Amino acid sequence: MDADYPSKGVLFPRRITTKTRIARLPEEQFDFLGYTVGRFHGKDGRPYLGTRPSRKAVKSLLKRIHERTTRQWYPDEPANTVARISSMLRGWCGYFDQGPVIETYELIRAYTERRVRRWLMRRAGRRGVGFRQIPDEYLYETLGLYSVPRRRVDLPRSKV
């Protein structure tokens, strides 16, 4: 019998040695459950061990927003598309609320606003990016786009 399986005959999946590695903190960083764990630096420049959303998780969210604001969704109502994007944002921000996330949130907020404005303009057959034509109030109050937190104070205080 193979060394990776127990002798009682119960089959367990093999450990994938190419994916398993030992990371030496604080010199190295590693990704786990969508977070990057490693050494970061605070506002005062002092290093600390912590977490932040991984690049892969951020790129995955931006890709899903991009796919939802492509031409194939022109026939859909703007309220439906914005509701779907808001649901994605709310869930993602609810999960990734630990560590230094405000810069990441700012990137996601700016990208989402730009994509939704451009999608609305193209859907209406107009040119431009829609920054002047479509104000924030229309996106957030009329269509109901989820407002990504801009400050640490806006985030929940505890995580159980």
Tally the C-alpha atoms within 13 A of residue 65's C-alpha that lie toward its C-beta.
28
pTM for the full predicted model: 0.80
Q: Which of 1-5, 77-81, 136-140 has the lowest mean pLDDT?
A: 1-5
* Sequence ranges of the domains in the chain: 54-154
- pLDDT band (50, 70, 90) for residue 158: low
Q: How far apart are CA 119 and CA 152, in angstroms?
A: 30
